Amino acid sequence: MKKEFILEFENVTKYYGNDLVFSNVNLKIKKGDVIALTGKNGCGKSTLLKCINRLENINDGIIKFKGIDISEISMVELRQKIGMVFQDYNLFEHLTVLDNLIIGLIEIKKYSREESIRKALNILKKVDLIEKKDKYPDELSGGQKQRVAIARTLLMKTDIILLDEPTSALDKEMKDSVLKLIKEIVDEDMTLIIVSHEDEFIKNVSDQIYVLKNNCMEMK
Ligand SMILES: Nc1ncnc2c1ncn2[C@@H]1O[C@H](COP(=O)(O)OP(=O)(O)OP(=O)(O)O)[C@@H](O)[C@H]1O
Ligand SMILES: [Mg+2]
């Protein structure tokens, strides 16, 4: 059976304790779609992304990946299918840039160390960070960390990439280089959900813009 949608939200509701974050969110995303999500600080954008790869549990409704309820998909499989770039990078501070890049390939993708290093070095060239391969995250600038985080997710070749405010902490120059990288991902026909306040950029790259407001999802 042909599955038309790669990701679907059906009446999804999320609380933290007694605090409602969002209710009855409905979304249907096709393969290759670029979806932007905006909304005020604290409205629940990061939470919504985390629900997609089960870093947070939902309280009601269903999230489906290729027609299957994600609660029935193992965490390992979900990690193979859906990658996330976090708002605060989430790099492993005790690992070098290169080791940050290969750990997922070895542990999730089950590639050999040699193969993983080869792939990691290739992508480091692409994001212009090859000379930083033996550095630790605290030796990098925000923009460089962000590029490592994006590279790490790209390497996993997931079906969907979730990007949480990939440029919020960056200066103009770094912002431009990260946006250029994201544009390249968009042009490769990836399915992307991007949380961003870069209005001009998201208007250019996204198929649909949503706003989380008053606990509800609205189309812009
Ligand atoms: N682990 C948690 N436990 C309890 N409440 C949380 C937790 N994480 C976030 N919240 C609360 O849930 C709400 C939504 O947070 P979230 O981080 O999803 O917002 P956001 O839209 O991503 O905000 P920002 O634009 O600042 O990144 C906020 O009120 C926040 O304080
Ligand atoms: Mg957030």
14 lines ligand 1 (CB under 6 A): no
Query: How crowded is residue 117: how many other Cβ atoms within 10 Å of its Cβ?
Result: 18
Q: For residue 2, tell me if it sits in a domain.
A: no
Q: 52-110 pLDDT, tens per residue?
A: 999 999 999 999 999 999 999 999 899 999 999 998 889 999 999 999 999 999 998 99
Mention every residue, 6+ apart, whose C-beta is less than 8 A from residue 89: 137, 145, 146, 148, 149
- Sequence-distant (6+) residues with CB within 8 A of 41 are none
Q: Residue 59 maps to which CATH number?
A: 3.40.50.300
For 147-174, how does the pLDDT look when each residue is reduced to its tens digit (9 = 90+)? Answer: 999 999 999 999 999 999 988 878 888 8
The predicted structure's pLDDT at residue 3: 52
Residue to probe by mutation, ligand 1, list 12, 13, 14, 16, most atoms within 8 Å of CB: 16
Would you place residue 2 in the very low, low, confident or very high pLDDT band (cuts 50, 70, 90)? low
Residue nearest to atom 18 of ligand 1 (CA): 44
Q: Which domain holds residue 74?
A: 7-219
Residues in the chain: 220
| Number of separate domains in the chain | 1
What predicted TM-score, i.e. pTM, was given to this entire model? 0.93
Residue 145 tokens, joined: 């960390």
